Amino acid sequence: MSIEAITKDYAAHVEGLQRSYEKALAESGFDAVVVHGGAARRRSDFDDQWWPLRATPHFQHWVALREPGAALVVRAGRRPTLLRVTAVDYWEHANAPESEHFVEHFEQVALAAADDAKAHVPGGRVAFVGDEAAIAARWGIEAVNPPGLVAALDALRVYKTAYEQGCLREANRRAAHGHSALRRAFFEGASSELELHLAYLAVTQQDDPETPYKNIVAYDGNAATLHHVAYARRRPGEGGPRTLLLDAGATCLGYCSDITRTWVRDGGDATSAVFRGLVEGVEALQQRLCAAVAVGMPYEALHDRAHDEVGALLSATGVVRCSAEEAVSSGITRAFFPHGLGHSLGLQCHDVGCAVVKPRADNPFLRNTSVIEAAQVFTIEPGLYFIDALLRPLREGGGSGRVDWALVDALAPFGGIRIEDDVVVRGATGGGATEIDNLTRAVLPEGGGAA
Ligand SMILES: [Mn+2]
C-alpha cells in the first residue's frame, strides 16, 4: 500500500482526534494539553552516548515524527500547534519523516531551542502528557500525565481509524518480506541466529532501534525462551537447525506489525515427525481461533478456547495421556502455553486500552481483556513450548502421570511453536457473523510447518 493511499484518510483521522481530545479535556477539567514527543536520553549517566528517540505514542497518534523536543499543543476550537526544534546541530540530526502529509494540518512553530516552547504554552488549566516531567516543570506545567486524561486518551487507541488500519496493513507488508527471506535462509541452513536477525533488518530496511520490538530469532531449544534476543553467533553445525521461531515486525508511520512464524526441517526421525505434527496442529488451531473471533465475545473467552485447543492437540499427539478437558482443568495446558493469546496492536506493539480490566487469576499474562468490537486490531498468537522451568513442577507434582515425559524430553530440543497474525475486526455482517481482516495472512499466507 502506498503512503499516498494510506494518508488520504489522515485528515479524517486528525479531525476525529481533535473532537475526541476536546471531549477528553472537557471531561477531565483541562483547557489544553501539551503532548510531548520525547527527548533524547542518555544510555548511562557515566558516558556521552544517547539512546535513539522512541517518540511517545500519544504524540505519534497525531504525528509520525521522531524528533527530540517536538511537542503538540491541543485545545478546543483551535488547530493544534506543532512545535519543532530547528536548532542547527552539526553533531547529529533526526531522520527526516517518511512522509510530510501531516504538515498542513497544524500551526507549525519553529523553535531555536527546545525550551523556547515555554512561550507557546497557553494559559488556563494545562496538562502535560509525555515522558519528561522535568520539561513540564521548566515550562511551568504542574499536571503531568493526569490519570483521568491519560486513561481517556488511551481509550481512543482501542479503535483504529481507516488511516491507522492502512498503516497497520503496510507494516504487515513490510514485515512479510523479512519473514519470507528468513524462511528461505532457515531452510538453507547456513546462517547463525545473529545473521538471520541482521538479514531481517536489511530486507525490511529497518535499523535495529526502529523495529517495533527486538526481533526474536530462535533456533531449536532457544524457542523455549519466549523473548529470545540473545542471538547465537555460531553457525549451525552438520544437519542445520531443526526449527526456527521468528517473531519480528515492522513499522509504518509509527504503527507496528507483530508476526510470528515457526518452521521445522524434516529430520527423518519419529520425534521430528511428532514436532512437525505439533506445528501443523498449532497452525490449524490458530486459524480456527481467527475464524472464531466474534463481535460481543470477550477476548478472554477466545483465550480460554485456545487452551481447549492446545489441550486437544497435546492429547491427540500423545504428549499428555489424558483428555483435552483434563489437560485444561488440571492446569497442564498452562505449562505448555504460558502466555496470553494476544494483545491490542497499534502505536505500541502491546497497545493500551484493551487491558483495563484484570484477567482472571489463571490467565495472568493475558493483555487483552476487552469485549471484541469492530475496528479493534489485535494479535492471535497461540503457542506451545517445552520450557523446563514450567514443566518441572508438573513433572514433580501429583499429576505427573498425565504427561508422557519421555516424549516431552525428546521434543524439548525443538524448543517451541508460536504462530501469530494481526487481525482487524470488521464487524458483524447482516447474518450476524463477524468478519475479520487478517492483515498478516494477506501478505504471508502460511503460518508455519515444514519446507
Ligand atoms: Mn505479539
Q: How many CA atoms lie within 13 A of 28 on its CB side?
A: 24
Q: From 112, 141, 156, give the residue that closes a domain.
A: 156
Residue 451 has pLDDT above 80, yes or no: no
Q: Which three cell numbers stand for residue 23?
A: 471531549
d(CA 350, ligand 1 centre) in Å = 7
187-213: pLDDT as tens digits? 999 899 999 999 999 999 999 999 999
CA 304/CA 292 separation, integer angstroms = 12
Model confidence band, residue 91 (pLDDT cutoffs 50, 70, 90): confident
Question: Does residue 43 contact residue 50 with C-beta atoms inside 8 Å?
Answer: yes
Which residue, 418, 71, 28, is CA-closest to 258? 418
Q: How many CA atoms lie within 13 A of 210 on its CB side?
A: 22
d(CA 287, ligand 1 centre) in Å = 16
d(CA 139, ligand 1 centre) in Å = 37
Model confidence band, residue 239 (pLDDT cutoffs 50, 70, 90): confident
User: How many independent structural domains does the chain possess?
Assistant: 2
pTM of the full predicted structure?
Answer: 0.96
Model confidence band, residue 93 (pLDDT cutoffs 50, 70, 90): confident
Same domain, 285 and 418: yes
Q: Give residue 432's pLDDT.
A: 83
342-370: pLDDT as tens digits? 999 999 999 999 999 999 999 999 999 99
Same domain, 57 and 169: no
24-65: pLDDT as tens digits? 999 999 999 999 999 989 999 999 999 999 999 999 999 999
DSSP letter (8 states) at residue 254 = T
Q: From 109, 125, 156, give the residue that closes a domain.
A: 156
Same domain, 408 and 384: yes
Query: Amino acid letter at 439?
Result: L
Q: From 97, 130, 156, give the residue that closes a domain.
A: 156
Same domain, 239 and 336: yes
Q: Give residue 95's pLDDT.
A: 84
Model confidence band, residue 90 (pLDDT cutoffs 50, 70, 90): confident
CATH code for the domain in which residue 66 is found: 3.40.350.10
Same domain, 312 and 352: yes
Same domain, 216 and 175: yes
Residue 218 has pLDDT above 80, yes or no: yes
Please give all residues whose CB falls under 5 A of ion ligand 1, grouped by chain where several chains appear. Answer: 258, 379
d(CA 232, ligand 1 centre) in Å = 22
Give the structural domain span for 129.
Answer: 3-156
CATH code for the domain in which residue 241 is found: 3.90.230.10
C-alpha distances in angstroms, 116 versus 41, 103, 121, 251? 19, 20, 10, 31
Which residue, 350, 176, 372, is CA-closest to 259? 176
Same domain, 65 and 115: yes
Same domain, 232 and 337: yes
d(CA 412, ligand 1 centre) in Å = 23
Q: Give residue 1's pLDDT.
A: 81
d(CA 258, ligand 1 centre) in Å = 5
Question: How much is the mean pLDDT over the chain?
Answer: 96
Same domain, 139 and 74: yes
Same domain, 236 and 379: yes
Same domain, 198 and 297: yes
CA 369/CA 344 separation, integer angstroms = 10
119 Cβ contact partners less than 8 Å away, ≥ 6 residues apart:
none
d(CA 314, ligand 1 centre) in Å = 23
Same domain, 149 and 214: no
Q: Give residue 103's pLDDT.
A: 93
| Averaged pLDDT, 251-273 | 95
CA 204/CA 193 separation, integer angstroms = 17
d(CA 119, ligand 1 centre) in Å = 42
**Please, what sign has the CA dihedral across residues 96, 98, 104, 107?**
negative
Could you give the 3-state DSSP secondary structure of residue 360?
Answer: coil
258 Cβ contact partners less than 8 Å away, ≥ 6 residues apart:
212, 213, 247, 249, 345, 349, 379, 381, 420, 422
Model confidence band, residue 329 (pLDDT cutoffs 50, 70, 90): very high
d(CA 393, ligand 1 centre) in Å = 27
